[in-house]
Amino acid sequence: MLAARLFTTLALVSQAAPAVTCPHDESAGAKANIASALVAAKTDKKPLLVMFGANWCGDCKMLDMAF
């Protein structure tokens, strides 16, 4: 019963959410951005969270809207 409610809720949320076509910048230079972020995190003595995804991935698009 709980699983059915959760599925229904997720289905309604996904229909109400605006369509996101390309949340990820494919020309961003990911390797350089991560290298730069690692240096900054080490310098500032802070943890680094790397978020990644793909424009073709439906789950990635949903997570992008959630974040």
Q: In three state form, how does the secondary structure of 1-67 look?
A: CHHHHHHHHHHHHHHHCCCCCCCCCCCCCHHHHHHHHHHHHHHHCCCCCCCCCCCCCHHHHHHHHHC
Does some domain include residue 17? Answer: no
Does some domain include residue 16? Answer: no
Average pLDDT on 4-30 reads 61
Q: CB of 53 within 8 A of CB of 63?
A: yes
pTM, to two decimals: 0.51
Number of domains in the chain: 1
Does some domain include residue 25? Answer: no
Does some domain include residue 20? Answer: no
For CA atoms 49, 65, 59, 57, give the dihedral sign.
Answer: negative
Instruction: Give the pLDDT confidence score for residue 5 in this predicted structure.
Output: 54
Residue whose pair of structure tokens reads 């350089």 in the numeric block:
32
Does some domain include residue 11? Answer: no
Domain that holds residue 57: 30-67
Instruction: Give the pLDDT confidence score for residue 54 in this predicted structure.
Output: 86
